[in-house]
Chain A
Amino acid sequence: MSDTTQARPEQKPALSSHEAAAPRPLWQVVLIRPEVMTLVLLFVAFGVATWLSPFFADTTFILESATFYVEFALIALVLTLIIISGEIDLSPAAMMAFSACVFAALFKAGVPIGVAMGASVATGALMGAFNGVLVLWFKLPSIIVTIGTLTLYRGLAQVLAGDRSISGFPSWFIGIDWKYWFGVPIPVVFFVLVAIVLGVFLALTVTGRQIYQIGTSPEAAWHAGIRVRRIKMSLFVLLGVTSSVAGMLTASRLASVRYDMATGGELQMVLMVMLGGTYIFGGRGSIAGTFLAAWLLIVIATGMNVANIPITSQLIVMGLLLIVSIVATNAIYARTQR
């Protein structure tokens, strides 16, 4: 017999390289992802903002400023789920406004405030459901149809509230952004909690995984027995409900409700989701990314404002940031494609 200490040629791996790729090293999976890029940008932004103005690095101030953006950030978290599932919804800002107007109008008409709040949430759910029906039953492209419904809801808000601003809410209701929990404004606490819940839901539950599959290929998901329509519908309704909650948070912060609440918010929300590395065509993304991106926007906007940088430059920076981040996101996804 031949020497058994000699390695026998047949024992070398017989698979050729294009049949079985070696698994990616763990450090690559963890670090080379869009969320990390967002995190890096967040650190960089923080550093730049501190350098630009000595007034920036003040926790109370940053948290206080965060409350202006947290309402949109909350919606952006749920919007992330919708975009991962392959749809999009541009109407949340208008849904905020209309449901807040419903709340305010009912309150002014003498309805007990608890009922008014419930009605507002119900309105949000209805609007979300309306969007869902148009997209899922009538099969209309979600981007255009929600542009249509956003105009519609904004118009309804105008019809309901007119040009008045409605105020006079009880003192326990207003000023929620000045109420703290261990030094953190309550809306920010709420945002963090919702982010944790949704993050766990998306990453660790079966339905969460299913959302990714739906986004990657609705047909394959359907054939695999996943209830595509039901899940997407629930997401639209959830978005509507979240919008109405965000609307009431805004009403509390401003102590008044107007039909033009949250105008222009649609772009900010989409911006947060995109900066977080979520893929616009669905199938990829994460709550963590959107969470970090929201903070990134807060830092940038607040930092530039307190450094007296004119809004002109802020627009340019935002535009460049968006482009750079999606270039990077796409590059990362392309590289990790197998």
Chain B
Amino acid sequence: MIRRTLLAALATGAAMIAAPLAAQDTVDIVYIPKNTGNPYFDSLVAGFEDACAEIDCTFSQAAPATAEATSQIPFITAQTQRGVDVIAISPNSPDALNQVLDRARSRGILVLAVNGDLVGNEEHRDAGILPVDFTKTGPNQVELLGSMIDYEGEIAILSATTDAPDQNTWIAAMEDVLANDPKYADMTLVAKVYGDDEPQKSTTEAEALLQSYPDLRGIISPTTVGIAAAAQVIQSAGKADQVKLTGLGTPNQMRPFVKDGTVQAFQLWSPYNQGWLAAHFAVGVRNGDIEIAPGNTFEVANLGTVRIEDKNVINTQAELTTFDAENIDDFDF
């Protein structure tokens, strides 16, 4: 495997020398996920790869071992050095990457934030491709939970790390809609806890929730590690009827819990579509077919017309996809 990787690297290196000599037709895209070994990003990558098999681009990925804030910096620098055309990245930090991304852009590289944006620092990237309209995620989740608990009772949120920008965006929207929308007037948010995306910590926090709030009716966990841990806890405690769990999870992770009734339904989007869209978008921009400005639209095979929103954000789909016992077997990621 190592030798194969070395040979592949050598071949890529040789191709990189050859590319400028030929006309720059093929767009070279590199994607930097948050970290390696995360099944969610595997399907995103599949979207990229399938797209590049159809349109004119080459794809590679470079992933750090851990998802800590600065882990991607050396990778961005290395890719800048390699002279790729497009850097697509799922950022681990909203602002630590500003300098290196600017450096990449000054060399003519197109920088796209994928799956998560540089909140507050959008000027350091060319466009952001998000899986879904993030402002709708929070309310969607609250609505789903509400529908399972008759819109009344105590609920809690089990999140990831305290500093994840996407988590905080969604939670803020959840709190907002809980406070202001009369439909949810009888639902009270009693706790927000953080599992750090670690199984042990998420489990302990979930158990503490059940302990400290005996009248708890529902939990929202908008993170795959959190919802998996909470599902385990509810399953072992046998409290699936009392406490309804929902959140953001992948079908493969949640399948056993949906099948045995521990979890009625949960939501997510299609990471695959994001990768597909990002690849088409990147090639379109590099070829001059797409101009990045809010309000512009463009066509993507299989996805239809896509619009660029404010701050150059592109939402792959508008609302969350809900998974339940009926459709969960249709998916494999």
Q: Do chains A and B touch in the complex (CB under 8 A)?
A: yes
Report the Cα distance A163→B13, complex, angstroms: 40
Q: Is residue B212 contacting chain A, with contact meaning CB distance below 8 A? A: no
A162 contacts chain B at the CB level, 8 A cutoff? yes
In whole angstroms, what is the CA distance A254 to B99 when docked?
7
Can you list 26 A-B pairs, Cβ within 8 angstroms, ordered by A? A52-B9, A55-B16, A55-B82, A55-B83, A61-B81, A64-B77, A65-B74, A68-B73, A68-B77, A163-B161, A163-B168, A254-B70, A254-B99, A255-B98, A255-B99, A258-B163, A261-B69, A302-B74, A305-B78, A306-B81, A308-B8, A308-B62, A309-B6, A310-B63, A311-B36, A311-B64
Q: Is the CB of A54 within 8 A of B17?
A: yes
Whole-angstrom distance from the CB of A290 to the nearest CB of chain B?
Answer: 21
Q: How far is the CA of A253 from the CA of B74 in the complex (A)?
A: 13
CB interface residues, A 48-65, toward B, < 8 Å: 52-55, 58, 61, 64-65
B12 closest partner in A (C-beta)? A308
A312 at the B interface (CB under 8 A)? yes
A53 touches B62 (CB 8 A): no
Residues of A within 8 Å of B13, CB to CB, are 52-55, 307
Per-residue contact bits, chain A 281-324, to B (CB 8 Å; 1 contact, 0 not): 00000000000000000000110011111111111100000000
Q: Chain A: which residue is nearest B36 at the CB level?
A: A311
User: With contacts A61-B77, A310-B62 known, what are 9 further pairs, Cβ within 8 A?
Assistant: A53-B13, A54-B17, A163-B163, A175-B99, A302-B78, A305-B74, A305-B77, A305-B78, A309-B6
Interface residues of A (CB under 8 A from B): 52-55, 58, 61, 64-65, 68, 162-165, 167, 175, 177-178, 253-256, 258, 260-261, 263-264, 301-302, 305-316
Q: How large is the interface on B (under 10, 10 to 19, 20 to 34, 35 or more residues)?
A: 35 or more
Say yes or no: is B94 at the interface (Cβ < 8 Å to chain A).
Answer: yes
A258 touches B60 (CB 8 A): no
Given contacts A308-B12, A310-B5, contact A264 B36 (CB under 8 A): no
- Please give, as numbers and ranges, the residues of chain A lying within 8 Å of B197 by CB-CB distance: none
| B92 → A minimal CB distance (Å) | 10
Partner of B95, one of A165, A175, A311: A165
Please determine whether B94 and A165 come into contact, CB atoms closer than 8 angstroms: yes
Known: A163-B162, A306-B82. A256 touches B17 (CB 8 A): no
CB of B285 within 8 Å of the partner chain = no
Smallest CB-CB separation from A51: which chain B residue?
Answer: B10
Instruction: Please tell me if B96 contacts chain A, counting CB pairs below 8 Å.
Output: yes
Report the minimum CB–CB distance from A72 to chain B (whole Å).
12
Q: Does B66 contact A (CB under 8 A)?
A: yes
Are B78 and A65 touching (Cβ within 8 A)? Answer: yes
Q: Are B74 and A258 in contact (CB under 8 A)?
A: no
**A263 CA to B168 CA in the complex, in Å?**
21
Which of chain A's residues have a CB closer than 8 A to the CB of B53? none
Inter-chain contact A258/B63, CB cutoff 8 Å: no
Q: Which chain A positions have C-beta within 8 A of B75?
A: 305
With A52-B10, A260-B68 in contact, is A162–B162 under 8 Å at CB? yes
Interface residues of B in 259-318 (CB under 8 A from A): none
Instruction: Report B-chain residues with C-beta under 8 Å of the C-beta of A253.
Output: 99
With a cutoff of 8 Å between Cβ atoms, the chain A residues found around residue B8 in the complex are: 308
Least CB distance, A240 to chain B, in whole angstroms: 22
Contact flag A313-B99 (CB < 8 Å), given A55-B83, A64-B77, A305-B78:
no
Assess the B95–A312 pair: CB atoms within 8 A. no
Given A53-B82, A165-B95: A263 and B68 within 8 A (CB)?
A: yes
What CA separation (Å) do A321 and B63 show in the bound complex? 21
The answer to whether A165 touches B60 (Cβ under 8 A) is no
- Min CB gap A74→B, angstroms: 16
Select from chain B the residue with minimum beta-carbon distance to A175.
B99
Nearest CB on B from A7, distance (A) = 64
In angstroms, Cα B63 to Cα A307, docked, is 13
- Cα distance A279–B52 when bound, in Å? 51
- Ordered nearest first, which 6 A-B pairs have the shortest CB separation? A163-B162, A305-B78, A163-B163, A306-B78, A307-B9, A311-B65
Q: CA–CA, A260 to B68, complex, Å?
A: 8
Per-residue CB contact flags for chain B residues 8-33 toward chain A (1 = under 8 Å, else 0) read 11101100110000000000000000
* Nearest chain A CB to B65 CB, angstrom units: 5
A165-B93 in contact given A310-B36, A313-B2 (Cβ < 8 Å): yes
Query: Which residue from B9, B73, B94, B161 sits with its C-beta under 8 Å from A308?
Result: B9
Q: Which of chain B's residues have a CB closer than 8 A to the CB of A177? A: 99
Residue of chain A at shortest CB distance from B77: A65
B179-193 interface with A by 8 A CB criterion:
none
Residues of A with C-beta under 8 A to B12: 308
CA distance A175 to B102 in the complex (A): 12
Distance in Å from the Cβ of A92 to the closest Cβ of chain B?
16
B162 with A68: CB separation less than 8 A: no
- Selected contact of A260 from candidates B73, B94, B99, B163, CB within 8 Å: B163
**Contact partners of A301 in chain B: CB under 8 A:** 74
Let me know if B74 and A178 touch, CB within 8 A: no
Q: Which residues of A contact B9 (CB under 8 A)?
A: 52-53, 307-309
Docked complex: B56-115 residues within 8 A CB-CB of A: 60, 62-66, 68-70, 73-75, 77-78, 81-83, 93-96, 98-99
| A contact residues around B162 at 8 Å (CB) | 162-163
**Shortest Cβ distance from A263 into B: residue:** B68
Q: Which residues of chain B come closer than 8 Å to A310, judged between CB atoms? A: 5, 36, 62-63
User: Given A175-B99, A305-B74, A306-B78: A165 and B163 within 8 A (CB)?
Assistant: yes
In the complex, are the beta carbons of A313 and B95 less than 8 A apart? no
